Structure 1
């Protein structure tokens, strides 16, 4: 899990401008925000923070605050450096901040035309549009450039805003459950809205066509679609309004949330809309496409491979049900219509490759079949607590893109991110309930495109034969404590920026990190390889839990300040950053970057790069900075109560003596009720302050103790812990210790080398092939030279030792013969000159010496080789 390195920084704390981003400006707004958290408003998701890079948009009441976090941080750092320079006596010359004095405070206020408090902010993929949602209305704002943040004008801004569906999304109609930007929309201009009454609408927005904000291009009533039998039926929403008559579908099909798998997923996932119903059912719409859509480069080829292979496998197989053949033929007809189109090439946003725009295929139809409700295999049993079964949010991770199958037989390599190629080849659906129960399910069968048949189709009777889809419940875990569960709780998901298989869960008072990485990649390996023992290993993987760690918890005094959905930002200036907020102020968490956790080496800096100063040693774990309770900053309501009494029928009592009467009792009762609430609130805040002071003492003692431990360790290293002997400088002591350590190291190295040699001599290890050949060659040479190896010698008369013996034998015979002849016959009186005799004798002795030396050298060499 990510390690928390710091909590809300100083540049987002009071009294800095960054703190004012998240708080109301007037007491009336603060009171309204507090009431919204106490359950007087309708429960639902709170996504009041959206970001575009390091720019954040925060909804506070009916207005939006727009700021750049990097600008706020740098402004605060400049101010701190200027204050340090002035404290050192350098004055204004130490640091120039005049360049920022004429600019804004780092944020702007955006006025909106909404009539109710903003509940959700959803920014488009390209960052050009911002969807502003209340409980029943949707407004689309055109976002300005970042340069407006640092403009000298600090007044409120009014953006170009369009009301989405002025006659559709209104207070008299159904509330808004989710608003999603379609991942396949052209340049991120397609918005999908899902109402609580299960009506899905697709809006293809264009600033040049105002009608695009008034009428959706496609409307689907899921209640009608669930009972549909053919494509010829009308599945549009009723124009007259909401049907007030009783229907079981009004409870079973009340939408809690909806989501797409994302543009980087494979197969049909990018065009599949998942809908989670409040009562626990899960549905899917595939393919849900706008009239004009732009697929990524890998989507069309991957669908081509899948559809063609499926139809080829079903063509001659008579055992396949007719319902499956119907779906395969529908997909083939859909792809044939798509293949016959001539796509339009457009320029995408900056940093993206050029895109292609297709038209939604007209065959088999524009309205897909509603798949579901999915059966949850191995689902947990129903509990007595109703909140355990009420869904609040859904999060889907699509299957990975199979690059090997996609580029099979192709010479070119497909350019894809490593994150898109890694992962699981099955979809993962995560469901979250009001009680904080998280269910992780696997879509092993895979959701594919399905349509209803036409009324004249011969396959219409096979519609009921289609099997009910199912999801395998892989794991169930709790993310909330029993004391944190209440009726208005609405936990939500927040995707992580570091991995598509990790996310954060934000509840009323807590933020929990969940990672599926420990088992995702191992499960994919087992599913692909399919070796012996796979069932046993998959069972072990199923028992291995996902990573679940709570990163933040605030005390639940009341529900007046619930946490908004977390936003994750990864930026070189901010780091790995989590941002959330309450109605009383911001909440920020700084995590250790994954590169630092993995120990990766940073790239080489340029010679002109100024290195950052070393961070101080952390003696204690980081903890949230104490913020005074909100009750201490609230003004008393007695003034407003007195003004209210001054305009009521009891105003005469304010100037008269106190008399016992029903009117006086009524006034005293109202005052007592107000004072009791305020005194209780102040008493709780004072008690919290007292406990914080006590905890501060304990923390201070702990820090002092740890500082002493570090100091003693430093003294032990430097040698300051001993007072014996003459005073020696720290450098000399360090050099002595280093020299002693080096000498000790050399001694240990010598001992290790000596022991290694002894172990090598006493260890019988097998000979290598080269050594065996060398030994064999030595034995062969010894058998040829030495007589004692005669048994191993080859039968050959030309071996050296036999030739040597033969020479010796001939020598002895010649000597005997000469001696015998000398005795038998007198030597002839032949006189040989002495000079000739000496020359001949010298040659003979030389030859004999050379032969003797050669034989002796050969014997010595063989003896040395045998000994070694």
Structure 2
């Protein structure tokens, strides 16, 4: 869990430019007030609000129909420069400063051509395109370099934009729920849009070809595909004349969200589109590829190895179903088409190697099979609350890439894209969020693989009815909202963390929650790979225990539903630090975190020898809390003047100049005025009550801070010894502290010596039993001793002799041979048999042979004796 240091800083608060870029202008506020109904609330359909896009330290914020651009580093440094100048000269303006009004500014307003409020901003992987989404339309903006956005003129500017699908994504058609940049798109130029009516479209954008923005290269109607039985059927999206009548499919297959796993995931994950339906069903579409795609270096080799290994395993196995074998053959044909291609190398982004571009295989087909709906194993019982089953967002973490298995037998090492891939879970994780705040964490044990529908005349069509639906294992179910915070317009959204792909943030209407799966992901992977005794028990403990980190990091008033939070954006920069950024229609909200320890180490290593270290920060004795911001009700203009202006142009304008009389017309006017005034007075009264409560809370917190400071002062005085000395101290504070530290060291030394003495006494007085290893060592020593020394016991029966008996035999042979040698030496002189003569060469050879045998036996005896001596000494 990241440690929260503070909340929204001063340079993002009123009245600084960092706050103004997040709020609408006065003209926008007046125009938006005209859209408010008689009940004072917008009847907007709930949906995702991703109104903040990030490019390094730059942010793009959607405010109504406009986009605000800002460089956060510039805004922070400009505010710090202004504060420094005010302290030094007492004047807030200085034309000589680089942050003055006549110099380049770090914020701009970007005008768009959208007809409705912007709901989502999705930036491309290479940060050169920006997808601008309303409820029904999509616009693609070409982002310029930061130097072109930074200019002394802070007036509105226009970007070059293209309307995506001018006849497809229009107000008369279904709304758009997700727009995703395909992970395998060539230089991040492939966009996938998913509409509410379950239609997936793939757009391969190119500024050189304007037609690429008009028509998608692939359009799939998931409702048709779910009922499809043959690849020869037409699964394309219907035109503008499609039937809008009610059907069970249109109700059950209303899309809530869709997502791709990360580009560096293993297996088929980078080309798998996961779709979460509003009613709770989950589907997968694999492989979903554009006509030209650019895979990472590990994708094609890993898939090739897995497909070949799978075919070799199941080809001759009679227990494997015929459907599985035919599916493996389809995957082999798909991979063979890629292997036959020669990739085209194109220039990638700056600092990246050249990208390999492949064409989408034409066999078995370009439209994959729709897998699902998935069955949820071990799912909790159905709740009485309908919001528990209404899904709002989906986040899928792909399996890790097994680099060791992939590069088995290869000499060159392969560098992986992501750091988490080599240390993670070898299966996918599917996270689902519901409108009630419930988060379901599921494991994809089987893994989603590529599947296609068979041809109409193919023999695989007979196996379609026998297949089992895929399933997901529900690992944990957690709640992120309290009872009073749940309402039907809530739409929780996932936001990725910058530290690990196994941690994320969940942003709903009124709160932000941090969740991390790292406490159990790596433990589960070790249990599954090692497979030691007791694995089932330990895995069960992991599943039943609350191992997932869940921490609420920000909460605003739950009843203020007119100011929903936008999806959080995580930013990490040396100049800005680590913080989370979100926004409401009334201003930004940020939460700053403590930087990890390894970042401090990298900073220290990169510093120059002449760097002057910064002073240590003081110890924080308070808990961080959000700074109080006055309620926006105090700043809203009254709607009563607009009501009076409306009455002046109505049929009741005569009554405004006459005396008040009791009549139906007067009652109508008074009723309308009462509606406006009652709502405004209620908002102002609620805001004033909140201000009063904050003032009381401020007094309580001030007393607590004074009490904590007093406790710290008493502890310091107790350490220095100045709390009980009535007379003047005989020693200074330093001397008292040094004396106490020395006394503590001496006491520690005495305690250590005493512990060592107790350990020695305990080892002498304790007669503990010998371990199995010690008993085995004793038996081995006795066996060696019995083989070397003669204890007078009978020799054990066996084919060979013991070493000590062989030694005795060798000694006896030595004596006999010495005697024989002496006799031979004496017998050299011819005495009795003058005719018997032995050549001297033969005699010398025999004697040399005997002496070598004696030396060998002597060496064996000496070696056995030295080994026995070593064993006895040990």
TM-score class, shorter-chain normalisation, is 0.7 to 0.9
- Map of 1:523-542 to 2, 5 A cutoff? 523-542=524-543
Q: Residue 199 of structure 2 contacts residue 220 of structure 2 at CA under 8 Å; is this kept in 1?
A: yes
CA distance in structure 2 between the partners assigned to 1:379 and 1:764 by the alignment: 55
- 1:810 alignment partner in structure 2: none
- 1:452 alignment partner in structure 2: 453
CA distance in structure 2 between the partners assigned to 1:751 and 1:476 by the alignment: 53
Residue 255 (str. 1) matches residue 258 (str. 2): no
Query: CA 1:537/1:742 → structure 2, altered by over 3 Å: closer, same or farther?
Result: closer
SS in 1 for 2:237: coil
Deviations 1:648-671 (A, max 9, x none): 222222222222222222222222
Q: Residue 505 of structure 1 contacts residue 511 of structure 1 at CA under 8 Å; is this kept in 2?
A: yes
- 1:692 alignment partner in structure 2: 694
- 1:242 alignment partner in structure 2: 242
SS in 1 for 2:452: coil
- 2:191 alignment partner in structure 1: 191
- 1:477 alignment partner in structure 2: 478
Displacement after TM superposition at 1:104 (Å): 4.6
- 2:856 alignment partner in structure 1: none
Residue 52 (str. 1) matches residue 70 (str. 2): no
Moved more, 43-52 or 637-646: 637-646
Residue 201 (str. 1) matches residue 201 (str. 2): yes
- 2:802 alignment partner in structure 1: none
CA distance in structure 2 between the partners assigned to 1:505 and 1:750 by the alignment: 55
- 1:118 alignment partner in structure 2: 118
- Map of 1:771-790 to 2, 5 A cutoff? none
SS in 1 for 2:46: coil
SS in 2 for 1:549: strand
- 2:43 alignment partner in structure 1: 40
Deviations 1:603-625 (A, max 9, x none): 36212334334323211100000
- 1:487 alignment partner in structure 2: 488
- 2:426 alignment partner in structure 1: 425
Q: Please give the TM-score of this superposition, normalised by the length of structure 1.
A: 0.85
CA RMSD of aligned residues (A): 2.9
- 1:836 alignment partner in structure 2: none
SS in 1 for 2:520: helix
Displacement after TM superposition at 1:214 (Å): 0.4
Q: Residue 173 of structure 1 contacts residue 241 of structure 1 at CA under 8 Å; is this kept in 2?
A: no
Displacement after TM superposition at 1:39 (Å): 5.2
- Map of 1:247-396 to 2, 5 A cutoff? 247-396=247-396
Moved more, 69-78 or 366-375: 69-78
Moved more, 276-285 or 240-249: 240-249
- 2:631 alignment partner in structure 1: 629
- Map of 1:399-798 to 2, 5 A cutoff? 399-416=399-416, 417-545=418-546, 546-595=548-597, 602-603=604-605, 605-727=607-729, 728-742=731-745, 744=747
Query: CA 1:440/1:58 → structure 2, altered by over 3 Å: closer, same or farther?
Result: same
Q: Residue 105 of structure 2 contacts residue 151 of structure 2 at CA under 8 Å; is this kept in 1?
A: no
Residue 70 (str. 1) matches residue 46 (str. 2): no
Q: Residue 36 of structure 2 contacts residue 42 of structure 2 at CA under 8 Å; is this kept in 1?
A: no
Q: Residue 22 of structure 1 contacts residue 583 of structure 1 at CA under 8 Å; is this kept in 2?
A: yes
Q: Residue 52 of structure 2 contacts residue 61 of structure 2 at CA under 8 Å; is this kept in 1?
A: yes
Deviations 1:342-370 (A, max 9, x none): 00111211232221000001111110011
SS in 2 for 1:634: coil
Q: Residue 202 of structure 2 contacts residue 218 of structure 2 at CA under 8 Å; is this kept in 1?
A: yes
Query: CA 1:756/1:37 → structure 2, altered by over 3 Å: closer, same or farther?
Result: farther
* Alignment gaps of 5+ in structure 2: 782-807, 809-874
CA distance in structure 2 between the partners assigned to 1:31 and 1:280 by the alignment: 36
Moved more, 587-596 or 517-526: 587-596
CA distance in structure 2 between the partners assigned to 1:390 and 1:290 by the alignment: 31
Moved more, 31-40 or 686-695: 31-40
Deviations 1:321-344 (A, max 9, x none): 121111111101001100000001
CA distance in structure 2 between the partners assigned to 1:491 and 1:326 by the alignment: 41
SS in 2 for 1:418: coil
- 1:833 alignment partner in structure 2: none
Q: Please give the TM-score of this superposition, normalised by the length of structure 2.
A: 0.84
CA distance in structure 2 between the partners assigned to 1:559 and 1:606 by the alignment: 51
Moved more, 214-223 or 590-599: 590-599
Aligned length: 773
CA distance in structure 2 between the partners assigned to 1:319 and 1:742 by the alignment: 73
Deviations 1:199-258 (A, max 9, x none): 100000001110000010111111111111211111111123432233211111111110
- 1:82 alignment partner in structure 2: 85
- 2:102 alignment partner in structure 1: 102
SS in 2 for 1:695: helix
Query: CA 1:432/1:744 → structure 2, altered by over 3 Å: closer, same or farther?
Result: closer
Displacement after TM superposition at 1:79 (Å): 1.5
Deviations 1:489-547 (A, max 9, x none): 11111111111111111111111111111211111111112222221111111112211
CA distance in structure 2 between the partners assigned to 1:53 and 1:171 by the alignment: 34
CA distance in structure 2 between the partners assigned to 1:653 and 1:428 by the alignment: 68
Q: Residue 126 of structure 1 contacts residue 349 of structure 1 at CA under 8 Å; is this kept in 2?
A: yes
- 2:788 alignment partner in structure 1: none
Q: Residue 48 of structure 1 contacts residue 121 of structure 1 at CA under 8 Å; is this kept in 2?
A: yes
CA distance in structure 2 between the partners assigned to 1:733 and 1:391 by the alignment: 65
Displacement after TM superposition at 1:101 (Å): 3.9
Moved more, 685-694 or 378-387: 378-387
Q: Residue 78 of structure 2 contacts residue 99 of structure 2 at CA under 8 Å; is this kept in 1?
A: no
SS in 2 for 1:579: strand
- 2:834 alignment partner in structure 1: none
CA distance in structure 2 between the partners assigned to 1:573 and 1:106 by the alignment: 15
Displacement after TM superposition at 1:103 (Å): 3.0
CA distance in structure 1 between the partners assigned to 2:690 and 2:461 by the alignment: 68
* Alignment gaps of 5+ in structure 1: 774-795, 797-868
- 1:849 alignment partner in structure 2: none
CA distance in structure 2 between the partners assigned to 1:346 and 1:105 by the alignment: 36
